[in-house]
Structure 1
């Protein structure tokens, strides 16, 4: 199991707190994973992100419950790492890339609470040093545990769709901008053996 391999590495313990619907997410072999996607929660704190992750957005056809949107790992501002979905399950975090990827969410306000308002598109909260150090540690642990994992991308690299602005339907804004301009790509790429994926 991946959990035991990660746990065997010297690092801060990673609490395992599965989302209520984790067992209903599709299973996959770890060898199917070649990509990690970096997100920011665009929410004020980890507790709010957890509540959003627990929301059932995709009802099951057999009435046995549904699933929602979530990353696999969440990293709080203090550097604590939390696992909500095991990588052996397909989480819903990036349209078109979920079956092959692991999603990592960094707690950051982003554009909250006016995500699609054209007047509030700045993403100016810096990522805490402890948060980035924890991310680097997690990425290196995942790379060691999943040899097929070779690439990394930001959500904004993979979902470039534009939508109508909530304040003015004649204007367009990016649907996803995370992890945003404050994310230290050079620092992370210099520290992990992963190549940034930027689709054409």
Structure 2
């Protein structure tokens, strides 16, 4: 088993008024040149938790961090106009707590963060601020 020290939360960056299945996600990741879905878990709007990649396999979700991380993605992240928004349903929030809780039980020393929190600290103040985010993903504040 590979060493895991980071859990990264993502959104699919899809509109809240549209459906984006795990099959759509897999297709789009393959089109980008990945060998299947880059995330280890995908959480649908109805709260369904889908294992999309074995944890033993290195992900393709956070450049420079994949070797020692697990990627979790939830369906959504954009409002109906295509602007970043926390679109998580209550069922998705519950499922996200279940997945992260289980992972923390298995990997207790992991840090949990949002994809945006891995952006570079451009002004060097030791804090990743909104104006430094490469992207808004996951469109909510992830607490570790």
- Interval of TM-score (by shorter of Structure 1 and Structure 2): 0.7 to 0.9
- Structure 2 matches for 1:1-200, cutoff 5 A? 29-30=1-2, 32-43=3-14, 44=18, 45-46=20-21, 47-55=23-31, 57=33, 67=35, 70-110=38-78, 122-147=83-108, 149-160=109-120, 175-180=134-139, 183=140, 185=142, 189=143, 195=144
CA distance in 2, matches of 1:93, 1:125: 19
CA distance in 2, matches of 1:157, 1:184: 9
Check whether the contact 1:55–1:68 (CA below 8 A) recurs between aligned residues: no
Check whether the contact 1:79–1:134 (CA below 8 A) recurs between aligned residues: yes
* TM-score, structure 1 as length reference: 0.56
Larger Rg: 1
Distance 1:111 1:71, change over 3 A: farther
Distance 1:150 1:109, change over 3 A: closer
CA root-mean-square deviation? 2.9
How far 1:127 moved relative to its partner?
Answer: 0.9
How far 1:150 moved relative to its partner?
Answer: 2.0
Structure with more contact order per residue of length (Cα contacts < 8 Å, sep ≥ 6): 2
Gaps of 5+ in 2: 123-130
How far 1:109 moved relative to its partner?
Answer: 4.4
Gaps of 5+ in 1: 1-28, 59-66, 114-119, 163-171, 190-194, 196-200
CA distance in 1, matches of 2:62, 2:113: 11
Paired residue secondary structure (1:38): strand
CA distance in 1, matches of 2:121, 2:33: 20
Aligned length: 131
